[in-house]
Structure 1
Amino acid sequence: MSKQAIFDKFIELMGRFAEIKEVAALRDGFIFTTPFTIAGSIFLLLANLPIPGYNDFMISTFGADWSIPLTQVSGATFDILGIIVVLGITYKYTEAEGCDAFSAAVLALSAFVIIMKTTAIGEGGVEVGGVIPKLWAGSNGILAAIVVGVIVSKIFCYCEKNKVTIKMPESVPGGVQKAFAALIPAVIIFALFAIIYAVCNLLTDMTFPELVFAVIQTPLQSLTDTLGGGIVISALPSVLFWAGIHGPNIVSGITNPMLIANALDNQQLVNAGMSLFSNPQAKIVTIQMTDIFFKSGGCGMTLGFLIAAFIKAKSAQLKSISRLSFIPGLFNVNEPIIFGLPIVFNPYLLFPFVLAPVVAFIVTYFAIFIGFMPAFSAVQVPWTTPPVLAGLIVAGWQGAVVQIVNIIIATVIYFPFVISQDKANLKDEQESNQ
C-alpha cells in the first residue's frame, strides 16, 4: 500500500471517528463545562494574584479569611467538574437523538451519585457519612462521569424510542406526561447502577469512580503528561485540519478530560501550599498547554504565518488574506486562513502547519521542565484570549515570554514556505493578467 493510500485511509478513519455519536457528545459535553471553568478561574486568580505583597495587603484590609468567598466559587466549579460533565454529556447526547434531554441529564446525575462514596475523611481523621465527596465529584471522577453519561444516554434513548415508558392519556398535561415517561427508564438506570455499586464494593472494596480512576484514568493522565504524548496531541489536530477534518474538535474530545484533570491535580498541590516551579509532582501537559501555548493564532500556530506574510508577501492574494485574517488571528480564530487561503490540502503549508505547534509544545514543555516557568494550576482563560496576555495570566511574565518565543519560532518556520506560496500566487496572478 502506498503512503498516499495509507494517509487517505487514516483520514477516512478519522472522519468516521468524528461522526460517532459518543465522540460528538463527549466533545460538546466538555464545551458545556467551559463557562464554569473560566468563571471559576477568574475567582481563583483573584485569590492568588502573583503580585508581591498582594496577599499581605488583602489580609491587612479584609482579614485573614479574605479569600474564603473566592475559593468557595472555585470549589463550586472545579470541585464538581465530574457532575457538570455527566450532566453536559448526557444532555448533549439525548438532545442530538431528539429525546428528553433534561430528564436524562437529571437521571445521569442521580446515577453518578449512586456509584460514589457516601463518606469522607474530616478533620482529625474522623469519617463523616451522608456526603458527596468533592474528591470524586471533581477531577478524579471525570472519566467515571463520562462512562455514566454515555450509558444513561443510551438506555434512556432506547426506552424513549421504543416506547418503554408509561403512556398517559392525551388529556394529561405535557409536563406530567414527560415525568411519567421517564419513570421506567429511571427504574432501569437506578437498578443497573445500584448493581454496579454493589459489585465494585464486593469485589474490589472500591466504588466505581475509584476503580475507574485507579485502572484507567491514572494511566491515561500519565500518558498524556509525557513528551511523546504531548507531541502527538500537538501534531494530530493540524494533520487532520489540513485534510479538511476539524482536528481540534476530534482530538480535544478525547484528550481534554485528561488534560483538565492534570491541571486540577496541580491545583491541589497549590492548595496544599506547594509551588509549581520545578515540582516533580506537578503535571506539565495540561489544558492550558493546548489552548494557549501551541495555538497562537489558532491551530497550527498560524499567527507565525500571518507575521511572515506581512514581512514577505508580494502577491495580492496573500497580502489581502493576511490582512483580513490578522484581527481574527489575534483572538486565535484562523478559519479564514484554513479555508480562505487555503491551508486545507495545500502542499506548500502541510509541513510548517504541523511542525510549528510541535516545536511550540516542546519549547513550552522544557520551559516548565527546567523550572523557568511554573506548571499550570486550574486557572484558565478563554481560548480566544490574545497571545502574550493569555500567557501572562496563566503563568506570569514567564508565560508571556514563552509565548513570544513560540510565535517568533513559528514565524521562522513558516517563512520559507510563505515565500514558496507567495511565488506560486504571483505566478498565477501574472498568468491571469496576460
Structure 2
Amino acid sequence: MEKLTSFLDRYLTPVFSRFGENRYLQAVSGAFFSTLPVIIVGSIFTLIGNFPIQAYIDWLKSIGVYDIISLVGNSTTDIIALMTVFFAAYNLAAEFKVKEYPAGLLALVSYFIVTPHFIVVEGIEKPISAVAYGYFGSNSLFVALIIGLLMGRIYIFVIQKGWVLKMPESVPPKVAQSFTPIFAGFFVALVSLVIAAIFKATSYGNIHEFVTKVVQAPLTNMGSSLAFFVGLYMLMNLCWFFGIHGAAVYAAAQPIVNAINLANLTAFQNGQPLPNMYANWVLFLKIGGLGSTLGLCAYMAFRAKSERYRSLGKMALVPSIFNINEPLCFGMPLMLNPYMFVPLVLNPLICGIFAYLVQNSGLVNYTRGLSLPWTTPALLNGFLQGGTSVMLLQLVCLIICTVMYIPFFRVMDKNAVAEEKK
C-alpha cells in the first residue's frame, strides 16, 4: 500500500492537480453551476406539475393548470444552450481576469449568427423566417460550449492585446467602457460568419447538425454505458482516497452527464418516454456523499463499540443525510486509510452492476433528469426522481454499500477500543 501511495502521489497527483486547474475546464464547470439555479427552479415546477401521483396529475389537467405550470420548465430547460453559451464565455473571461459580461454577450451574439434563421415546414414551399426553438435546448449544449469557449477566447485575446477603442477622458466612464469591446466584437462577428459559411457549404448545413452528429451523439453514446458511469465514480473515489478532490475528474465528464440528464428532463416535460437509463445515476453511486458513506455513518453512530467512532458517527450523521460527508472523510479518515480502500473504490462497481440489472429488467423506472438541490436527502431524491421503485433501488444500493464497509470498519473499531483501554 505504501508503494502504491508513493507511486500515485508522485505521478498521478500532479496530473490531476493540473487537470483541475485548467482554465477551460473551470469555465465549463462554472457555466453549468451558473445555470444551475434556473434549472433547479424549472425542475421544481416540473415536479409540481408531475408529482408521482397520477390522481394529482389528472386533477391538475382537469382544472386547466397543468399546461400553465409546464411553462416554467419549458422556459428554463428549453433555453439551456443560450444560458450555457453566455456563461461559458463569461466564466472563461473571469479565469483570465478580464471584464466578463462583454465576453458572454458577444458569445451569445455569435451563437445566433451560426444558428439557422429559417424553418422548413412540410407543405410550405418557402422557408419561414424564424429560429427553431430546438436550437436553444439540450440538443445544442455542446455547440453552446464550443461557441462560448471559442468566442470567449477571441474576446480575451483582443482585450489582452490592447486592441480597444479608447475614448477621450471627458467621456463618462460608463460610456467609455461600453465602447471598449467593439474591436473584439468585430473579430467575433467575423469568425462567426466564417463558421456559418463553412458549415452551410457542407452536407450538414450548419454547425448544430455537425456537432450533434459528429461530436455530441458519439460522446453521449459513450456516456450512456455502464462502464462509463462505474469507471467515473470508481476513479473519483480512488482520487478521493489519495487526497485528490474528484471534482477535477467530474468536470471533464460533466458535459456528457448533463446532456444525458437534460435529455430525460426534456422528454419528461413533454410527456415522452425517457430515453436514457443512466440519467441521475448519482442516486445509486453517491449516497450520502462521495463514496456512499451514509450507511457507514449510521452504523458508526449506533453500533460502534469505540467512543471515538461512535461520537464521530453521531456528529457526522446529520450532515451525511444531506450529502455532506467531509466530517466523516476527514475525521475517520477515509483518505489514505488502507482499511477503507476496497469498499470505497469498489462500491460503485457493485452498485452500478446491480442498478443496471434491475433497471434493464424493467423493474425500476428510469429517472426524470430533474436538477434537485444536491443536499436533497437520499431516498427522498430517489422518490422525486422516479417514484417508489427508484427509491427502493436506492435503498438497496445503500444497504449494499453499508454491508461492504462494515467488515473493514469493525477491524478499525476493534483497534480503537484497544487503544481506548490503554
TM-score per shorter chain, which class? over 0.9
For residues 430 and 124 of structure 1, the distance between their equivalents in structure 2, rounded to whole angstroms, comes to 86
Gaps of 5+ in 2: none
When normalised by structure 1's length, the TM-score is 0.90
Contact residue 45 and residue 70 of structure 2 kept, 8 A: yes
Of stretches 419-428 and 13-22 in structure 1, the one that deviates more from structure 2 is 419-428
- Counterparts of 1:23-422 in structure 2, within 5 Å, are 23-62=25-64, 66-121=65-120, 129-247=128-246, 249-270=247-268, 273-276=271-274, 282-286=275-279, 288-290=280-282, 292-422=283-413
The residue number in structure 2 matching 1:279 is: none
For residues 420 and 319 of structure 1, the distance between their equivalents in structure 2, rounded to whole angstroms, comes to 14
For residues 125 and 385 of structure 1, the distance between their equivalents in structure 2, rounded to whole angstroms, comes to 49
Deviations 1:370-407 (A, max 9, x none): 11122122323111100111111010011111111111
Alpha-carbon distance, 1:201 to partner: 1.1
Deviations 1:272-327 (A, max 9, x none): 65444xxxxx21112x212x322111000010221231343222322222111111
For residues 151 and 194 of structure 1, the distance between their equivalents in structure 2, rounded to whole angstroms, comes to 14
Change (3 A) 1:199 1:426: same
For residues 304 and 121 of structure 1, the distance between their equivalents in structure 2, rounded to whole angstroms, comes to 55
For residues 364 and 206 of structure 2, the distance between their equivalents in structure 1, rounded to whole angstroms, comes to 37
For residues 175 and 327 of structure 2, the distance between their equivalents in structure 1, rounded to whole angstroms, comes to 48
Of stretches 351-360 and 207-216 in structure 1, the one that deviates more from structure 2 is 351-360
When normalised by structure 2's length, the TM-score is 0.93
For residues 399 and 259 of structure 1, the distance between their equivalents in structure 2, rounded to whole angstroms, comes to 19
For residues 125 and 394 of structure 2, the distance between their equivalents in structure 1, rounded to whole angstroms, comes to 46
Alpha-carbon distance, 1:267 to partner: 4.1
For residues 256 and 268 of structure 1, the distance between their equivalents in structure 2, rounded to whole angstroms, comes to 18
Alpha-carbon distance, 1:429 to partner: 4.0
- Counterparts of 1:2-17 in structure 2, within 5 Å, are 7-8=8-9, 9-17=11-19
Contact residue 120 and residue 127 of structure 1 kept, 8 A: no
Alpha-carbon distance, 1:128 to partner: 5.4
Deviations 1:50-109 (A, max 9, x none): 2132333223323xxx32222221111111111111122221221232211111111111
Change (3 A) 1:163 1:351: same
Contact residue 61 and residue 67 of structure 2 kept, 8 A: no
Contact residue 234 and residue 361 of structure 1 kept, 8 A: no
Deviations 1:238-268 (A, max 9, x none): 1111222220x22332222222222333345
Change (3 A) 1:396 1:272: same
Alpha-carbon distance, 1:425 to partner: 3.0
For residues 414 and 363 of structure 2, the distance between their equivalents in structure 1, rounded to whole angstroms, comes to 40
For residue 204 of structure 1, give the secondary structure of its aligned residue in structure 2: coil
Identity percentage of aligned residues: 29
For residues 291 and 341 of structure 2, the distance between their equivalents in structure 1, rounded to whole angstroms, comes to 9
Alpha-carbon distance, 1:423 to partner: 2.9
